[in-house]
Structure 1
Amino acid sequence: MIVEERDYRLVPGRLHEFISTYEKYGLDIQRRHLGGFLGYFITEIGELNHVVAWWSYESLADREARRTRMLADTEWNGYLGRVAGLIDIQSTRILKPVCFSPLPVRGRPTEMPS
């Protein structure tokens, strides 16, 4: 299992517009294509105007296949048009849970024995 962390720094003053647009037009499309939705977060302390999304995948190949299908979806491209101009900078990281992470890792039970 891997976790993709996508961090969007938004244009100041546009955070709530971005979130409401995503909730209304983007989230269901991503859930349909990407599957493993782990969370969506905003910053409260530190560098503001950030949205962070976490998605889980079985592997990099799984991620690539799912994202390729989503990028070919006309509904997704329509959503991207709605948020054009709201994102200042985007970064993506791939995270791999370690053996004691509470997230389920393939081949290991979710609960660690005590």
Structure 2
Amino acid sequence: MIVDERTYAIKPAHVRDYLDLYVAEGMALQVGHLGHLIGWFTTDVGVVNEVVHMWRFEGLGDRETRRAAMEADPAWQAFRAKTSPFVVSMRSRILRPTAFSPMR
């Protein structure tokens, strides 16, 4: 099992716009393709104007297959075109649980 953690820096004053658009048009698409959503978060202290989301996958192959299908979906491409003006930068990390982690 792995966790894909994605952090998006959003233009100041547009975090709510980004999240509203995601809920209205992107969430169902993304959950349909990627499956197990762990959560979506906003930063409150430290670096602000960020949204973070985390997804659980069986492994790197599962992640690659699911993300490729999502990227090939024209509806997802249309959604990304609407949200990209809000995004300043993006970073992604793959997290692997330790042997003693409750989530494995």
Provide TM-score, normalisation by structure 2. Answer: 0.97
Higher helix share: 2
The 3-state SS of whatever aligns with 1:93 is strand
Report how many residues are paired.
Answer: 104
In the TM superposition, what are the counterparts of 1:80-95 in structure 2 within 5 Å?
80-95=80-95
Mapped to 1, the partners of 2:79 and 2:102 lie a distance apart of: 33
For structure 2, the 5+ residue unaligned runs are none
Query: 1:82 Cα deviation (Å)?
Result: 1.1
Question: Quick one: which amino acid aligns to residue 78 of structure 1?
Answer: A
Mapped to 1, the partners of 2:56 and 2:96 lie a distance apart of: 10
Query: 1:71 Cα deviation (Å)?
Result: 0.4
In angstroms, what is the RMSD of aligned CA positions?
Answer: 0.6
Q: What does residue 58 of structure 1 align with? A: 58
The 3-state SS of whatever aligns with 1:4 is strand
Q: What does residue 40 of structure 2 align with? A: 40
Mapped to 2, the partners of 1:19 and 1:60 lie a distance apart of: 27
Query: 1:13 Cα deviation (Å)?
Result: 0.8
Mapped to 2, the partners of 1:16 and 1:94 lie a distance apart of: 26
Aligned-pair identity in percent equals 38
The higher radius of gyration belongs to: 1
Query: 1:84 Cα deviation (Å)?
Result: 2.0
Mapped to 2, the partners of 1:49 and 1:81 lie a distance apart of: 20
